[in-house]
Amino acid sequence: MIKKINIGLLGCGTVGTGVAKILIENKKLIASRVGAKLILKRIADIDIKKDRGIVFDDGLFTKDAREIVSDPEIDIIVEMIGGKGIAKELILKAIENGKQVVTANKALIADQGNFLIKKAEAKGVDLAFEASVGGCMPIVKTIRESLVGDKIKSMTGILNGTCNYILTKIGDDGSTFKEALKQAQSKGFAEADPTLDIEGYDTSHKLAIISSLAYGMEINLDDIYTEGISRISSIDIECAKEFNFKIKLLAISKNRGSTVEARVHPAMISFDNLVSSVNGSMNAVEIIGDAVGSMVLYGHGAGMMPTASAVVSDIVDIARNLLFNITGRIPILSYQSDKMSNISVLPIDEIHTYYYFRFSVLDRAGVLAKIAGILGAYSISLKYVTQKGLQSNGSITIVMFTHLAKEADVKKALSEISFLDVVTDSPVLIRIEDDLEEEKEEE
């Protein structure tokens, strides 16, 4: 008799429908790989009559999600509702009932993951969330399984398709941020309220999750420095290009031994780094391990079917364990729970990195000397300085690239500079992500 695993789907919106589509339309294919039938037994959604373009068996739908999490026939609960309210309540109930749980809910995992995971571990069930980071890119699996022998040194990624689409658009045709955002919204790459994406919070959620997995620390969302892309202009993208850099919204995390850097902000990244070639709504992450060296994963970071594909991979992973009556084969946060460390996130003021500055100043003798003098006083040394032509307001533009400098020093220096009477606009600061340079300076 062929074995069966019963699945209950909570929420049949975009991604939920994608999951149903794969489970139904690729049913035979999946069975031929898994050696068991994965049966989509129940679906809960407020809209049970909508045409979702799939032929469902009769009686699958209910409006009552609680009915499904309490159904003794259901083995795996797939939470596709989103948000931190009812989704959390249902996941907790499912765990209590001894069910395995799969979710793509990055906000919930980033915010409440530590609590939910402890509950799951105490009950001896699995909680999987591959689709919560990077859509279809198998980041969670790669960190937890493929790099299990590696000390992970850093992760640098583009983890938000909306921001990458907008930055690509500004770079391609000189759109303003507002124009590019509007275009992203009309193409369906940005929500009506895009705050979560463009202010970098969505990226922070994802970085908090993968940093935890990589370094064996609890998920720590609050300490991640987060800066969005709304102040990026085509001028800076052009300046970056002249020096062989692209500007991307990067999620950056670095293992600094007893601390970790974890930050999200626009950054310049060298053309030589494959991540700089990732355009439009695509996502990518570079992971550097002590054995593996540099590795990049690239794919659709969102979207109905790519995200659904990742959800199904989680369902199958759990199903494969259930077929052998096992759970907890791999610790949910990658490390055994008694081996998690108390690693703290380095405050942004403490980091050392490279900087790009752009100043608008009056075209007068001695201006450059004044600015350079202040930077020098804060031990910020310069690699390149260029002066650009006149702006419409009569100011000129000075662009600078620094050697390694400390964020706190940079902030103080820029604050002083902004008070100079020859400075006509707020200075622009963009951090530069350049591992190769860093290694050279460390030598």
CB of 411 to a copy of itself, least distance (A): 35
Is 257 a binder of a copy of itself (CB under 8 A)?
Answer: no
Are 361 and 424 contacting, i.e. CB atoms less than 8 angstroms apart?
Answer: yes
Does position 312 interact with a copy of itself (CB under 8 A)? The reply is yes
Q: Rule CB under 8 A: choose which of 294, 391, 395, 424 binds a copy of itself.
A: 294
With respect to a copy of itself, which residue has the nearer C-beta, 151 or 231? 151
- Residue spans of alpha helices (H) in 176-264: 177-186, 195-198, 201-215, 234-242
User: Nearer to a copy of itself by C-beta: 120 or 348?
Assistant: 120
Query: How far is residue 437 from each of residues 164, 273, 383, measured CA to CA in Å?
Result: 24, 12, 12
Choose, by CB under 8 A, the member of 63, 84, 339, 364 that binds a copy of itself: 339
Tell me the C-alpha distance between 297 and 144, whole Å: 14
Q: Is 53 in the site for a copy of itself (CB under 8 A)?
A: no
* Candidate list 99, 106, 141, 169; residue touching a copy of itself; CB under 8 A: 141
Minimum distance from CB of 118 to a copy of itself (Å)? 17
Give which of 114, 401, 419 is closest to 242, Cα–Cα.
401
Q: Is 32 in the site for a copy of itself (CB under 8 A)?
A: yes
Alpha carbon distance 287, 213 (integer Å): 12
Q: Which one is catalytic: 21, 88, 106, 206?
A: 206
If binding is defined by CB under 8 A, does position 147 make contact with a copy of itself? yes
Q: β-strands 428-433, 352-362: how paired? A: antiparallel
Please choose, out of 42-50, 144-152, 345-353, 368-376, the segment that lies near a copy of itself by the rule CB under 8 A.
144-152
Q: Is 206 a catalytic residue?
A: yes
102 binds a copy of itself (CB under 8 A): no
Q: Where are the beta strands (DSSP E) in 98-244?
A: 100-103, 127-128, 152-158, 225-226
SS3 state of residue 221: coil
Integer Cα distance of 333 and 74 in angstroms: 25
Least distance to a copy of itself from the beta carbon of 107, Å?
23
Beta-carbon contacts of 439 under 8 Å, excluding residues fewer than 6 positions away, are none
User: Which positions from 194 to 223 touch a copy of itself by CB under 8 A, shown as an x/- string?
Assistant: ----------------------x-------
Long-range contacts of 193-196 (CB under 8 A, 24+ apart): 194/162
3-class state of residue 95 by DSSP? helix
> Do residues 79 and 12 touch, judged by C-beta distance below 8 A?
no
Q: Which residue, 118 or 411, is less far from a copy of itself as judged by CB?
A: 118
Q: Measure the CA–CA gap between 262 and 11, rounded to whole angstroms.
A: 32
- 146 binds a copy of itself per the rule CB under 8 A: yes
Binding site for a copy of itself (CB under 8 A): 18, 21-23, 26, 29-30, 32-35, 130, 136-138, 141-142, 144-151, 216, 274, 277-278, 284, 289-300, 303, 305-306, 308-310, 312-313, 315-317, 320-321, 324, 326, 329-331, 334-336, 339
Residues annotated catalytic, as ranges: 206
